[in-house]
Structure 1
Amino acid sequence: MDEKRTLRWYNLGMIAFVMVWGFGNIVNNFAQQGLQVIVSWILILALYFVPYALMVGEMGSTFDSTSGGVSSWVKETSGTKIAYLAGWTYWVVHIPYLAQKPQAVVVALGWVFFQDGSKVSNMNPMMLQLITLIIFLIFMWVASRGITSLKTIGTLAGTAVFVMSILYVILVLTAPIIRNIEPATTNISLKNFVPSFDFKYLTTLSMLVFAVGGAEKISPYVNNTKNPEREFPIGMIMLATLVGISAILGSIAMALMFDANNIPGDLMLNGQYNAFKKLGEYYGLGNLFLIIYACANTIAQISALVFSIDAPLKVLLSDADEEYIPKSMMGVNKYGAPIKGYLLTLVLVSILIIVPALGIKDINGLFNWLLNLNSIVMPMRYLWVFFAFIALKKVGVKKDKEGYKFVKNDSLGYFIGMWCFIFTAFACIMGMFPKVELFSSQWVFQLILNVITPFVLIGLGLILPIVARREKGKNK
């Protein structure tokens, strides 16, 4: 037996759960859908997440000798030009994420120092964004110096946040029994649980897709699993079950603490911290839970910021073809940081930090918009996973290779891949419609930003090959 095949299905399920899931997924989707999100979770997990994760398993098993992840899969199935676009997409969708992370750091620090969200909520939006930009500059410098200790510290902090999230669900669900706490949500009926599937509901799908995305991170572990053919799908079903239990029980816990029929407008901004503040009050511990969570989350957010500045850019440039990316972009400093890539990141992130503050005049609206923008843009990288899987089933690349297979029938696999691709694209398009008053000035401004941003970010990827060709021409 191959000694490398040491992971069992339960090991794989837990590794994937920690990778994919977070407390913010519960809070953000409850904020948008209320108790309807419970049925939404069941549908999204069964019809989208499970096939998505199993597809990733087949791709990881089929292309086990590649190291570039999704872009390598696309390269193997569709050639270098399409692979470049996949790699570019994987990197560029992190730009809104990098613009949002420093903002989240400011919010977390506000709760650490004041145990209250009003200090940040009442700031001038432009002032907040300038502080956000300064924080981004500081940690871009940190990333450029090759400081890796933050990753280790951030992993520990992220684990603490994860454990506290599970603890939150358990303590809130038991609070009515142990502490005789009255639930915040009353007048519950069947219509509270059944989604309306109207236009407003469809605009929230991107946040669900955003929440369950990222399964491609699991691919390196497929061939380390003992008997992948049998145990990998069991592990993924375990993952979906854990996510489902956490999402459903977490949503119920949120409904016990916050009125699902009258959801606070700042729940996405301050909900995580208010939840732990109230939890401490339930159990007579004051702000203890809040302070621990806010401190751990601050460190975790900072670590995620530094890692996301550096890692996606290195993925783009490490396997870069000089035909598509200028050689000058690949230069690194003595710490191994691609400086010109950092400068491009800085320009794009700075624009995305400052421009929205010119039109969105309140902190809550600004925070919610940027979070929703992430839910529109980030899933665009998942489209390449499905594209590669469709190509694999259509062309039959390495179809005779031994290893884990999601579905052995290529036609069925092609259909499932198309379903996931179309659903993801549909969710991204619907997510572009703002969650504010219809046709108001704010709605128009946010819609313009939501439509322009993805096209500009992806469109920039078409410019670099032109620059690369001109650079090669000059060097001849």
Structure 2
Amino acid sequence: MSDQNRNLTWRNIALMGFVMVWGFGNVVLNFATQGLTVVFSWVLMIGLYFVPYTLMVGELGSAFKDSQGGVSAWIRSTTTPMLAFMAGWTYWVVHIPYLAQKPLGLMVALSWAVNPSGAWATTIKELNPIILQSIVLVIFLVFLYVSTKGVKTLKVIGNIAGTSMFVMSLLFIVLGLAAPAITGKVATPNITMNSFIPKFDFNYLTTLAMLVFAVGGCEKIAPYVNNTKDPSKNFPKGMLVLAGMVAVCALLGSVAMGMIFNANEIPEDLMMNGAYYAFQLLGEHFGLGSIFVIIYALANTAAQLSALVFSIDAPLRVLLAEADSNFIPKSLSKTNKNGVLVNGYIMTAILVSILIIVPALGIGNTNELFITLTKLNAVVMPMRYLWVFLAYMGLKKASSKFKTDYKFVKSDKVGFIIGLWCFAFTAFACIMGMFPTDVAAFSSEWMFKVALNLLTPIVLVGIGLILPAMARKSNAKEESQSTIQQ
């Protein structure tokens, strides 16, 4: 690529990556699971996991700077076509639990936007889970239909809303840290150094998946290494600045949460409504009423709408647009006159509908349902990061075949070990995240949640393993028909 097209600086890379990776919800969700001890967890997570993760992505982006296929292309170049297909499949299929939860998040955001007192949100929380999830299913199916029409305007609105939420997240940190000066007190009493140190027990290990879930996704920035000025210098610099920005927002955001919420008495629905409670409290502290919660709720409503439509269509197109007929039946790539992947949409509808209804059958509380689906996402979504680390290990194992402008570490053996560490840690966090700690161990609800967390990734990945056999059968049938016609 000519220098004329290399117009991105390290600042651009850092900001683009930050918007892709970070959000205020990451602070709220992890504070809800750990309280102030999450500050220490962020330090460990960013130093031992996120920094090497971002720098590995930098090296992979440098090694495959001409590739636009992302992780599946990295896997194809470093391993086998079958694993490349599974990487692409995983990147699509982890969106199924995400899509199953998104309509509920949309309902909550809209309720706060219309009624900033939280009364409507309380009504949603008190609904019977079966009734609620039936409404969620209808909302999903409506937007599944809408996504077939292509709503570019909604995606643009979503981008604007995403930027607005980013600004609101920074505003929360500033106002949250300043709140004690206004109120004259800190919500969490008797804060000492020990308040930030977690107990490294089984319960703590089950919260790691949420942390991994929060910091993942920086590989989305890798294709831009080819558009970066002096990529061997500026791309890794941008990724390091990204890690620093995430660290500052995570640490200060968590401390700010402790300023306005009592970390020793965390509201049971903080995961579901915590972001709105936070801005509601800030509005009260600064004498501005409901203005903050309304702005945040409106921005989040628009972002949720856009994300729901975009996450139905875009990942499916990535999977099927250039599908290898050896692994994916051609029937799944069938499009109608409007270019809609009809059978792909049907497959999406079936899988998401099942995952919307099934959890409601075993969980009798709407707030618990929201928490369960959030934690399910934290178990399933990081599975796609495993392929990043596998690709990096493959790159280190065959480094002589690839030319890179930038290397995270000079030693291939050390690089391989770091990649293996991140792979093993991600897998361990996902496995530990399968065990709920909010209900009695081995109770019927505990068993249901464990089964849901265990079977969901097995089934979703298992379907991907079945598709190549279906593709072979479909191809053989087509060849047979072609021979007969000749």
Equivalent in the alignment of 2:142? 138
Residue by residue over 1:2-26, the C-alpha shift from the partner in whole angstroms, topping out at 9 and shown as x without a partner, is 1122222122111111111000000
Contact 2:179–2:260, Cα closer than 8 Å, also in 1: no
Alpha-carbon offset, residue 329 of structure 1 = 0.6
CA distance in structure 2 between the partners assigned to 1:335 and 1:151 by the alignment: 19
Q: Deviations over 1:100-146 (max 9, x none)?
A: 11110011122122221211111111111111111111111111112
Cα separation, 1, equivalents of 2:60 and 2:123: 47
Deviation at 1:252, TM superposition (A): 0.8
Q: Distance in 2 between matches of 1:336 and 1:247?
A: 42
Q: Name the structure 2 match of 1:171.
A: 175
Q: What residue number does 1:81 align with? A: 82
State the shift of 1:175 in Å.
Answer: 2.1
Structure 1 distance, partners of 2:294, 2:218, is 31
Kindly indicate whether residue 293 of structure 2 is the aligned counterpart of residue 290 of structure 1. Answer: yes
- Structure 2 counterpart of 1:13, one-letter code: A
Q: Work out whether 1:21 is the aligned partner of 2:22.
A: yes
Give the aligned partner of residue 46 of structure 2: 45
Shift of 1:200: 0.3
In 2, Cα distance between the equivalents of 1:397 and 1:321? 28
Q: Which residue identity does 2:215 align to in structure 1? A: V
- What's 2:428 paired with? 426
- Partner residue in 2 for 1:276: 279
2:187 aligned residue: 184
Which of 238, 241, 245 is residue 238 of structure 1 equivalent to? Answer: 241
**How far is the alpha carbon of 1:65 from its aligned partner?**
2.0
Structure 2, unpaired ranges of 5+: 480-486
* 2:10 equivalent in structure 1: 9
Matched, 1:162 2:163: no
Give yes or no for contact 1:112–1:295 (8 Å, CA) kept in 2.
Answer: yes
Q: Are 1:120 and 2:118 matched, yes or no?
A: no
* Secondary structure of 1:313 counterpart: helix
Separation in structure 1 between the aligned mates of residue 210 and residue 124 of structure 2, nearest angstrom = 24
TM-score by length of 2: 0.95
Deviations 1:441-461 (A, max 9, x none): 211110111111110000000
Greater CA deviation, 281-290 or 219-228? Answer: 219-228
Letter of the structure 1 residue corresponding to residue 98 of structure 2: Y
Give the TM-score taking structure 1 as reference length. 0.97
Alignment of 1:340-351 (within 5 A): 340-351=343-354
Within a 5 Å distance, the mapping from 1:215-226 to structure 2 comes to 215-226=218-229
What residue number does 1:149 align with? Answer: 153
SS of the residue 2:326 aligns to: coil
1:225 CA displacement: 1.9
Alignment of 1:53-452 (within 5 A): 53-115=54-116, 116=118, 117-177=121-181, 179-396=182-399, 398-399=401-402, 401-437=403-439, 438-452=441-455
Q: What SS class does the counterpart of residue 270 from structure 1 fall into? A: helix
1:474 counterpart = 2:477: yes
Distance of 2:114 and 2:166 partners within structure 1: 22
- 1:110/1:119 contact within 8 Å kept: no
Q: Distance in 1 between matches of 2:85 and 2:224?
A: 24
Deviation track 1:194-223 (CA, whole Å, cap 9, x = no partner) reads 121110000000000000000111101222
SS at match of 1:3: helix
Give the alignment's Cα RMSD to 1 decimal: 1.2
Conserved 8 A contact 2:393-2:419: yes
Q: Shift of the alpha carbon at 1:397?
A: 5.8
Distance in 2, Cα, partners of 1:264 & 1:143: 36
SS in 2 for 1:324: coil
Shift in alpha-carbon separation, 1:340–1:254, aligned structure 2, 3 A: same
Alpha-carbon distance in 1 for matches of 2:368, 2:319: 32
Whether the aligned pair in 1 keeps the contact of 2:129 and 2:360 (CA below 8 Å) is: yes
Paired residues of 2:54 and 2:240 also in contact (CA < 8 A): no
Equivalent residue letter for 1:289:
F
Q: Is the 8 A contact 2:409 2:415 kept in 1?
A: yes
Runs of 4 or more above 3 Å deviation:
none
Q: Which residue identity lines up with residue 106 of structure 1 in the other structure?
A: M
Residues 247-277 of structure 1: per-residue CA shift (max 9 Å, x gap): 1110111101110011111100110111111
Query: 3-state DSSP class of the match of 1:473?
Result: helix
Match of 2:483 in 1: none
Q: Distance in 2 between matches of 1:26 and 1:461?
A: 33
- Matched letter for residue 430 of structure 1: M
